[in-house]
Amino acid sequence: MNESFFRMILSRHSLGAKHLTIPAPDVGALRLAVTAALRVPCHDEGLPFRWVEVASRDRLADLFESVLPDDADEETRAKARGKAHKAPLCIALIGIGMTDQGRDRASDEKLLSAGASLMNFLGAMHAQGFAAKTVSGKDFPAPDGLYDPSYERLLAFVLVGTPDTPINYRDIGQGNDERQPLSRW
Domain 15-56+87-163 belongs to what topology?
NADH Oxidase (3.40.109)
Count Cβ atoms below 10 Å from residue 60 Cβ, excluding itself.
21
Instruction: Output the CA–CA distances (angstroms, integers) from residue 135 to 15, 16, 86, 150, 159, in the order listed.
Output: 11, 10, 11, 22, 8
**101: which DSSP letter?**
S
The structure's pTM equals 0.87
Domain borders along the chain are 15-56+87-163
Closest CA to 158 of 5, 45, 49: 49
pLDDT tens-digit map of 106-144? 788 888 999 999 999 999 999 999 999 999 977 898 999
pLDDT confidence of residue 179: 58
Contact, 159 vs 133, CB < 8 A? Answer: yes
